[in-house]
């Protein structure tokens, strides 16, 4: 927020203001088949200079009503919390000549290329952690996504980097990925004697998986990138 946008000689409004814009579009404009409003998850990394504002914005329940908010927490941040260490917020130096071409939101990739980073503030990691906990207690947000854990435990680690989750947090997703969710009612497989029908579960899960795979073909995709990514999951081994 406040960073200079050189091409138009202006300043950036920052991610919280953009979140409010997306929220308004999602809450007031987008309707899913007339049955409900759209669903939206917005996440911000723990290293971002505006993370403190992001943590507290929904303590005012009139702000950003059309989106869920979560902070992406890294293993490094949690280690700093554990050791009572410092935590710095940072952002790529946007005066770098290759910023427009190379910056894609991945701070680790940016630093790995030896690109310059601007340090903004230094906090105690535990102070940020306490602010997250307090805000979540007061307003139920922000949520937490332990992004490093998602990537290290993912069974798709070898072909994609997970970036966020779907709006309700059931499934971590990579770039342009689409959540295709199914659920089994496990209580339906318990008989009157309290025995679990594992064979029945096996049979029904196979049918459900076939059904969900058909959804990939039947779905209508607004963006080619979404369709390509959904179909690509079948091809990776």
3-state SS assignment for residue 221? coil
Residue from 59, 108, 133, 168 carrying the catalytic annotation? 168
Q: Reply yes or no on whether 170 is catalytic.
A: yes
What mean pLDDT value characterizes the chain?
Answer: 91
Q: Reply yes or no on whether 111 is catalytic.
A: no
Residues 158, 163, 166, 169, CA torsion sign: positive
Residue from 98, 111, 170, 225 carrying the catalytic annotation? 170
Query: pLDDT-derived band of residue 33, with 50, 70 and 90 as boundaries?
Result: low
Helices (H), 3-98: 14-24, 51-56, 75-83
pLDDT digits 0-9 by tens, 50-81: 999 999 999 998 899 999 999 999 999 999 99
pLDDT digits 0-9 by tens, 121-159: 999 999 999 999 999 999 999 999 999 999 999 988 888
In terms of residues, how long is the chain? 237
pTM of the model: 0.86
Q: Reply yes or no on whether 98 is catalytic.
A: no
Report the Cα–Cα distance between both ends of the chain, in Å, rounded.
42
3-state SS assignment for residue 203? helix
């Amino acid at each position: 927020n406040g960073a200079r946008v050189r091409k138009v000689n202006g300043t950036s409004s920052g991610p919280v203001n953009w979140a409010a814009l997306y929220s308004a579009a999602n809450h007031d404009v987008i309707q899913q088949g007339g049955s409900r409003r759209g669903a939206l998850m917005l996440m911000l990394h723990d290293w971002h200079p505006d993370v403190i504002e992001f943590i507290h914005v929904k303590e005012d329940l009139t702000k950003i009503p059309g989106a869920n908010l979560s902070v992406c927490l890294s293993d490094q941040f949690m280690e700093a919390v554990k050791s009572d260490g410092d935590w710095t917020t940072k952002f790529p130096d946007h005066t770098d000549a290759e910023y427009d071409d190379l910056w894609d939101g991945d701070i680790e990739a940016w630093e790995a290329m030896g690109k310059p980073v601007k340090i903004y503030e230094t906090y105690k990691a535990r102070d940020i952690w306490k602010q997250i906990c307090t805000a979540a207690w007061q307003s139920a947000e922000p949520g937490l996504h332990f992004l490093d854990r998602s990537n290290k435990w993912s069974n798709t680690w070898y072909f994609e980097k997970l970036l966020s989750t779907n709006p309700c947090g059931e499934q971590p997703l990579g770039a342009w990925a689409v959540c295709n969710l199914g659920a089994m009612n496990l209580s339906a497989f318990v008989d009157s004697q309290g025995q679990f029908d594992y064979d029945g579960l096996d049979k029904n899960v196979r049918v459900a998986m076939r059904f969900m795979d058909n959804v990939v073909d039947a779905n209508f995709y607004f963006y080619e990138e979404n369709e390509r990514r959904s179909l690509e999951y079948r091809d990776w081994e």
